[in-house]
Structure 1
Amino acid sequence: MAKMVLLASYLAINSVDVSAYTSKIELSVEVDEKDVTTFASAGWKEVLGGVKSGSLSATFQQDVAASAIDSQMWALLGQVTTFEVRLANGARSTSNPGYTGSVLIKKWDPISGTVGDDAEVSVQYPTSGAVARQTS
């Protein structure tokens, strides 16, 4: 079984590679659990999958220079935009799939921290629509 250490993962938001600002990426997808148990279930719970949803979480190293992460994200606040994440920053392939979709940029904390902290911004955005796994 292959093992991997995340050293150079890839994150694009609004078709812009923001990997150079990113120190953490997490894409989570799930399916609602719908209880369909009946008296014929013989005392066992039965479930089906319902609506799918997801979220994209990231931690960015803050940069307020012109055209840097702060101005990019500020311009997207309140919009639904595209994203792509990959385990490695190489091209999509069967061993490096890209997960793509859209997210709502619903929050941006341009300043957060205490004396001596790294200037970081942690975000969590809900997906909007389908998330796809692409290998090419």
Structure 2
Amino acid sequence: MAFMVLTTQFISLNGTDLSAYCNKAELTVEVDEKDVTTYGSAGWKQVIGGLKSGGLALEFKQDFAAAALDSILWPLFGTVVAFATRPTSAAVGTGNPSYSGNVLIKELKPISGGVGDEASQSVSFPTSGAVARATA
């Protein structure tokens, strides 16, 4: 069994590599649980999967310089854009699968923090449509 430490995770939004600004990324996928229990279930609950959904949560170190993070994310607010993420910045392969799809940029937190805090923003975007996993 191979263990790993995330040190070079890749994250892209709308075709732009944002890995240099991101210090935490979490992709989640889930499926609705639908109860199909009948009297024939002999007292045991039976479930099947329903609609699938997902989310991409990111934590960015803010940068307001020209052509930096704030100027990249702001025009995307309210739009659905492509995303891609993988455990490392190396090429996609069986040991470095890529997960991709689309997300709705439903929130931004351009200014967040208290006195003495680093300028950062934690955001969460719902997926829109299927999330794909690729190893080639």
**Category of TM-score, reference length = shorter chain:** over 0.9
Shift in Å, 1:58 = 0.4
CA distance in 2, matches of 1:120, 1:26: 16
Structural RMSD (CA): 0.4
1:43 — aligned with what?
43
Q: 2: CA distance between counterparts of 1:103 and 1:23?
A: 19
**1: CA distance between counterparts of 2:89 and 2:83?**
14
Deviation, 1:39, is 0.3
Q: How far apart are residue 48 of structure 1 and its match?
A: 0.2
SS in 2 for 1:19: coil
Give the equivalent residue in structure 2 for 1:95.
95
Which runs of structure 2 are paired with 1:34-113 in the superposition (5 Å)? Answer: 34-113=34-113
Structure-1 separation of matches of 2:95 and 2:113: 38
The amino acid across from 1:111 in the alignment is I
Name the CA distance, whole Å, in 2 between partners of 1:8 and 1:71.
23
In structure 2, list runs of 5 or more residues that go unmatched. none
Q: Any gaps of 5 or more consecutive residues in structure 1?
A: none
TM-score (norm 1): 0.99
Whole-Å separation in 1 of the counterparts to 2:122 and 2:71: 16
Shift of 1:49: 0.3
Superposition deviation, residue 90 in structure 1 = 0.5
Distance 1:7 1:101 in 2: 23
Shift, 1:40, TM fit: 0.3
1:7-32 C-alpha deviation (Å, 9 max, x unpaired): 01000000110000000000000000
The alignment partner of 2:63 has SS state of: coil
Q: Aligned-pair distance for 1:74? A: 0.3
Amino acid of the structure 2 residue aligned with 1:81: V
1:3 is aligned to 3
TM-score by structure 2 length? 0.99
List structure 1 segments (4+ residues) > 4 angstroms apart after TM superposition: none
Residue 127 (1) aligns with residue 115 (2): no
Distance in 1 of aligned mates of 2:118 and 2:23: 12
Q: Which amino acid aligns with 2:15?
A: S
